[in-house]
Amino acid sequence: MVAGLTITDRNILVPANAQKTLIAMYQNFSSLSCLYIKYSDNVIECYGNSARCSILPTDITPQLTSCTATQAFVNQNSSAVSFVRTFNKSTSWLYAYAWNELTSVTAQNYFAFPLANDNCNTPSIEFQIYTPIIRWARQIKRSQAFSVNAKTILNCSKSLNNTKQWSISQCNLETQRCQSTAYLRQLVLSTTSSQTSEIVIQSLQLPYGYYLFNYTISMNYRTSFSASSFTYIQIIPSDIQVNLLSNGTSMVTNGVAQSLLFQPGVYSIDPDSNYFNPEVRENTNNEIFIYLFLIFRIGHLHTIVESMVHHRIQDRTDKN
């Protein structure tokens, strides 16, 4: 699949009506890859194999016009291709879409840039932990607070004032489609760090699942100079804290005619919830082994008999 699409001009400014070289970079580039470019003057260019790339993927077909012709990639390597075009407006931009014939999911990117007389260019974004492929999402336990940090490089001599904004979408692993929800929009609005380069999410705020964290920064001097990038996060169940007794091992003593009742389903703690249900966790088959040591005195002979009680606590991923 195609992932992590970015467009760059290497911060090289050119005047109006001069050829400008742009570079598209994305992971897993191959001979199956296709690239669709829509420019600010509504010109469309398509790159790749004419037989494989003439038909657009289903996720962008409703919003884009099909290409009448497909060009071969120029100056390609294992992860990047370059393309050249002339622009005549002081501010220009393009939308890029990349895919291959084996998947209907498209990587997308927007890139705006000035011409040489403006001394301002779009910011560059680098994530501290970058996971642009949903199946390799960064895993966070639900009981843990975490942050997503984006490093921004500003390229505007006119002014460094800018506006930052995060958004969060919930994703389906099978379809690899993500959508915003009312809860996630409200969560972002109530999070003060959502307008900084590092958004902080408190523990238990996100249910189990996959999420797309999108970061956008735009220059206040000219809002069309903006950059956006995303990374995936997976919220996973926390480990159960197993307690056999109400007060732990301090309850274990030796003596005659005494009984000891182990109740891990009663006294164990689920960090993801306010209570522990011993019948939760139905899918992962986590197993807890409890070793019980019984000491018998037979005359002067001490015999240690080890018996094992096997208690299985199952994992239910849909618990709250």
Give domain limits for the chain: 1-115, 119-236, 248-312
Higher pLDDT, 195 or 123: 195
At residue 137, the 3 state secondary structure works out as coil
At residue 98, what are phi and psi to the nearest 5 degrees? Answer: -125, 140
- Please give the pLDDT value at position 153: 84
* Beta-ladder partners of 215: 166, 229
- Please give the pLDDT value at position 310: 36
On the question of pLDDT at 232 being above 80, the answer is: yes
On the question of pLDDT at 18 being above 70, the answer is: yes
- Please give the pLDDT value at position 76: 64
End-to-end CA distance of the chain: 33
pLDDT band at 104 (very low <50, low <70, confident <90, very high): low
pLDDT in tens, 274-303: 766 665 544 333 444 444 443 333 333 333
**Sign of the CA dihedral with 250 first, then 251, 252, and 254 last:** positive
Higher pLDDT, 47 or 170: 170
Task: Give CA separation, 131 vs 23, 202, 210, 220, in Å.
Answer: 21, 20, 12, 29
pLDDT band at 105 (very low <50, low <70, confident <90, very high): low
> For 119-236, CATH number?
2.60.40.10
Higher pLDDT, 203 or 243: 203
The reply to whether 1-115 and 119-236 are identical in fold is yes
pLDDT in tens, 154-212: 877 777 889 999 999 999 998 888 999 999 999 999 999 999 999 999 999 999 999 99
pTM of the entire predicted model: 0.60
- Please give the pLDDT value at position 54: 78
Tell me the C-alpha distance between 74 and 48, whole Å.
10
The class level of CATH for 1-115 reads mainly beta
Task: Give CA separation, 32 vs 40, 82, 219, 305, in Å.
Answer: 27, 16, 36, 64
The winner for highest mean pLDDT among 35-44, 138-147, 151-160, 170-179 is: 138-147
> Residue 299 class from Cβ within 10 Å (0-12 exposed, 13-18 middle, 19+ buried)?
exposed
Average pLDDT, the chain: 77
Tell me the C-alpha distance between 155 and 63, whole Å.
31
